[in-house]
Structure 1
């Protein structure tokens, strides 16, 4: 199954290359196509997350009220998720769908080098199948410079989208996300040092798309979703737990 996917991805990339005339540009075009396909999923995920931000006070109230009853707490949370049409795992779906392409490009880069020994990105990257570390080890610093810049972008563009996501978080969550983003950026910088340039091109293009999407599209989606959620919350009747006192019998009058 995996080999079939690699062959399919290589064929698609080769088809795009025959049209655009450059392997690096073909990787970028493939990335844009994938991101376009995932845009509706991303919009739905963002809309759901924004709606849930409005319901955070309600969720916190449920967690505090049923802190000693995990089963009831989970049941009440599920009710809120159902009402708001929110899937806690929905935000992971676009990322999971991209993972096969991301890891598949490792093998595709090898296949590309066999199909075309001069598979490059115009005159910027002499070979998209070569890693940054290999270019540095070659001693040709002029040729290695674009690879180093691409690896730095690989790390920076891991951090930026995570920071942009903090706009819908509270202060404590924002601090945790920023710290985690910085750690992830350093890890990806180290990871990117040894991967083929084709993988870096894919990730950098995808991350740039995500940044633009968050700034241009997501903000509008979030504002609209929050307004809808606030309107629904305002129109939803408030549930009040009423405890009725047992009536005591009225005393009989003495004759």
Structure 2
């Protein structure tokens, strides 16, 4: 396994695509190491232009993990990438039936907090995240995982991988918040559509569902602390991952 080039690959048709390891030589770990680039990538949905399909095939992708619901997949199926096996790992995201009736910004923020709590406490979510981490630890690399916007379900998965690699919490939070920068164009497009079809007063109501906030991620961490005491215990008891498997995952993630 070789490290990927240090330059950042950007995809025109998937603006939140990026290496989990971060830019440059990869994020530093607390013990003086670095996260290995080219192991796994994160993204929003893979509605790819032909040039971007070629770019991903050139990375040598072996597995694509789709964290979306069946309904989301049926509406916008991934474009196939040559050489990569597609795998569905359903994690419930933002419930659209609730989003459609949001009365105000505070209600939207409450929905987001509930979603992040469910990442930790939902049995289905735990099963899917366990399968994802197991695949990255044991199957051919590199791999990519994604949801619709690549910020919430995908953001929690990326945070867990960086935790396993030994990256400090402040860096993990900063990396998580990068989705607001990477997907700014897509967010602006959706907000313009909301204003056009629902009215300008609805823009502020819906915006909390289109961004990431530190408070959202902290809600997941708080649920981990309340239920398991630590991320290590959550990986072991919540996701059912053995210490051996977590060790293998750590070895793969670190340069």
Superposition TM-score, scaled by structure 1 size: 0.30
Higher share of residues assigned strand: 2
